[in-house]
Amino acid sequence: MSTVKNWQLGREMAYPYDARYPERQFAFVFNINRCIACQSCTMACKSTWTFNKGQEHMWWANVETKPYGGYPQWWDVRILEKLEEANPGGQVWGGTPADARFGPYGTFEGQTVFEAAARTLSPDSARVLGYLPTDEEWNSPNIYEDNPIGKRGVRNAIDQTGEQLPVHNTWFFYLARICNHCSYPACLAACPRQAIYKRPEDGIVLIDQAECRGYRKCVEACPYKKTMYRGNTRTSEKCIACYPRVEGTDPETGGEPMETRCMAACIGQIRMQGLVQMAEDGTWAEDRYNPLYYLVHVAKVALPLYPQFGTQPNGYYIPPRWVARPYLRQMFGPGVDRAIENYISPSRELLAVLQLFRRSNRIIFRYQIEEGPKIYEGSLHGRKVELYNDTVIAFGKNGRELFRTTVEEPVYVRPNVHANSI
């Protein structure tokens, strides 16, 4: 095993290969507070990439209801349990969240999927702690989740109360997921044929279909369960980050890098995807006015999903503000309290950057804010709130302006017939 630096864990860790970083990295931020589980993202992906025979069970993009839902069922509970068995009582964070780009959430003192494997698995070829989900676990995305359907035998009508089982009395939320195009991919680490590679230009992780022999080591290893086996081709497949769009080679893009299908389809406007610049040590290079860099490293409202697994995932989430904190800390690490605090009392800049979500399908490389006058000051749910008419301008790859947003008070024009009435 080599030793690599994992900035999310604030320490070095063991990984089967030497560190290599792409020039830019595919990354995204999902604002969970807004997701309505409409599954438009899921279907956008399905209808683009996985509608063929043998792919019926495949949902490269999925949305599951937490805490009880999962695709495959119980994926996170099962891997958390395995790590706990490998290192009982030791899966904890130390230190305190800080401002640094390396170790912003403190230091993870437990074991990653790579480290736990080195201690507990034999033979040596077993490089990653994981498990193979059963067919049943793959086959039923969203089973028992809160999808209202009609009463049996009654057509074209939705059940009026919408649920029978299970009713969560207090909280739940929707977790949208795709492959995290990890910096230290567990799928890649586990492949005995080296059929999985990470592209140097954008960090997208792909399975070479000509090399894959369907050993399913990647399926077993990915802690997020985002590689899937296809029976009729006897190969594994995974999210390809809609790379023709990201490259700007899809005819629809007109040569400009464009966000993936699942991002573009998002009804709740929760998603933003981009390409961040990487530094030589594997951290994100400082790029103050890249919106993703701002959300992750400056405002610190967006956090990686289960960073303790150790793959340095590149999907980030603004955590749902109403959910029990111990649960969120387990899922997103110790940065949760700061993230929610910053989100519910947003700074002027954060409010402006949140306006960039889903205003364009092109990838935003930089934003700029032109400050305007204060237009509102008051309180909201007991907290102070100030709004400004700032103009936020988004720029694309070549520095071209994509769009700008401003705030306007609605103007009511009195119809002619009433023009002079009081």
Residues engaged in binding ligand SF4 (CB under 6 A): 35-41, 63, 174, 176, 179-182, 185-187, 205, 222, 224, 226-227, 238, 265-268, 270-271, 311
Could you tell me which residues come within 8 angstroms of residue 157 by beta carbon, excluding any fewer than 6 positions away? 150, 151
Closer of 189 and 318 to another protein (Cβ) = 318
| The two structure tokens encoding residue 13 | 């860790």
Query: Do the beta carbons of residue 264 and residue 272 sit within 8 Å?
Result: no
Q: Among 3, 96, 164, 209, which residue interacts with another protein (rule: CB under 8 A)?
A: 164
* Total interface residues for another protein by CB under 8 A: 69
Number of Cβ within 10 Å of residue 380's Cβ equals 10
Neighbours of 91 (CB within 10 A): 18
CB of 84 to another protein, least distance (A): 17
Question: Residue from 147, 194, 209, 347 that binds another protein (CB under 8 A)?
Answer: 147
Q: State yes or no: residue 374 binds another protein (CB under 8 A).
A: no
State yes or no: residue 322 binds another protein (CB under 8 A).
yes
User: d(Cα 126, Cα 215) in Å, to the nearest integer?
Assistant: 13
Closest distance to ligand SF4 from the beta carbon of 149 (Å) = 17
3-state secondary structure 43-95: HHHHHHHCCCCCCCCCCCCEEEEECCCCCCCCHHHHHHHHHHHHCCCCCCEEC
Each residue 59-78 as x (binds another protein by CB under 8 A) or -, in order, gives: --------xx----x-----
Angle separating helix axes 325-332 and 336-344, nearest 10 degrees = 110
Q: Does residue 360 bind another protein (CB under 8 A)? A: yes
Q: Which of 28, 31, 103 is nearest to 290 (CA)?
A: 28
Which of 90, 94, 148, 192 contacts another protein by CB under 8 A? 148
**Minimum CB separation from ligand SF4 for residue 96, in Å?**
28
> With CB cut-offs between 5 and 8 Å by kind, which of another protein, ligand SF4, none does residue 132 bind?
none
Rounded to whole angstroms, the Cα distance separating 180 from 194 reads 19
Q: Which of 187, 236, 234, 222 is closest to 58 using CA atoms?
A: 236
Among 33, 112, 183, 314, binds another protein (CB under 8 A): 33
Q: Exposure pattern of 292-319 as b/e (b: 16+ CB <10 Å)?
A: bbbbbbbbbbbbbbbbbbbbbbbbbbbb
> Which of the ranges 45-53, 140-148, 223-231, 293-301 carries the binding residues for another protein, by CB under 8 A?
140-148
The CA dihedral of 211, 212, 213, 218, to the nearest 10 degrees, is 150
Enclosing H/E stretch for 175: strand 173-177
Candidates 276-284, 285-293, 299-307, 371-379 — which segment interacts with another protein by CB under 8 A?
371-379
Q: Which of 122, 125, 156, 160 binds another protein (CB under 8 A)?
A: 160
Nearer CB in complex with another protein: 3/368 = 368
Please state, in angstroms and rounded to a whole number, the distance separating the CA atoms of residues 206 and 228. Answer: 12
* By CB under 8 A, residue 244 contacts another protein: no
Q: Any bridge partners for residue 91, and if so which? A: none
Between residues 124 and 409, which has the closer beta carbon with respect to another protein? 409
Under rule CB under 8 A, residue 380 binds another protein: yes
Q: Is 192 in the site for another protein (CB under 8 A)?
A: no
From the list ligand SF4, another protein, none, partner contacted by residue 227 (C-beta under 5 to 8 A by kind): ligand SF4
The residues, ordered by sequence, that sit 6+ positions from 56 with a Cβ below 8 Å of its Cβ are none
**Residues lying near another protein in the complex (CB under 8 A):** 33-34, 36-37, 67-68, 73, 136, 140, 143-144, 146-149, 152, 158-174, 251-256, 269, 320-324, 327, 354-355, 359-360, 362, 375-376, 378, 380-381, 385, 387, 400-410
